Amino acid sequence: MADVIRGRSGVLTSKEMKRRLLLEIENPLSLVITPLLDERSAFDLDAVDLRLGTHFLFPRVPPRAYYCPDEESRQTFHMRVHVPLGDFLVVPPHHTVLGATFEFIKLPFDVSGEILTKSSVARTFTLIETAPWIHPNYRGCLTLEIANVSNTAMLLYPGRRIGQLILLHVAVDDEANTEELLDSTYFGPVFPEAPPFKNPQEDLFKIGVPIVKVMLGPKPIPRTPPRQKRKRRTL
């Protein structure tokens, strides 16, 4: 198998993708894209179309006047929204939202990938990726960083094609120790994933920064009960 892998390079063709889709899932060379709807028109020569899923993460208005990427941000910065098939999501102009692909993907140990905005979608000034690279052995739905950079509100319909997946060969000698290639940070997600940051103090301490400034938010102002108006006595 190693000799076969060494002899290949470049982008996978649709023929190679379809061949790997037919392999048993236990085979380390197998590829999974499911559900693959309207398969006949889903493939280009060097890419396969992916559709928009039904779950989204909308940025919340932060409780502070800034956003700090720390341990608390993953749970506090986003609001989960589900949009069923047949309905639509309104993204205001110059706003962002995290979405996910409708398809669940499993990449082989010798293949990496890249998710790109479909050209027809990009020409509406809607972008779906700022971190497009997908590592070998990835499993899960792909989180999409969707941005409406136009001057008008945009309607997103779950189930419609929104991106193209391009796959590339990786020069791996054999499938030994492929478990080490598994990315534990984003492994097996079926919903959009918010970034799991650590606190800045912990990250910077590892590179020898002993003191890290932290901006503390303002203390909440205690709420006082409203004054009751005195009733006027009438004679």
Question: What is the set of active-site residues?
Answer: 145
CA 176 to chain centre: 29
Contacts of 48 (CB under 8 A, 6+ apart): 14, 17, 33, 36, 42, 164, 165
Tell me which residue has tokens 């559900």: 35
Residue that the structure tokens 């290639």 belong to: 181
Helices (H), 77-126: 119-122
Residue 156 in 3-state DSSP? Answer: strand
3-state helix, strand, coil in the chain (%, to 5): 15, 25, 60
Please give the Cα distance from 123 to 128 (Å, whole number): 12
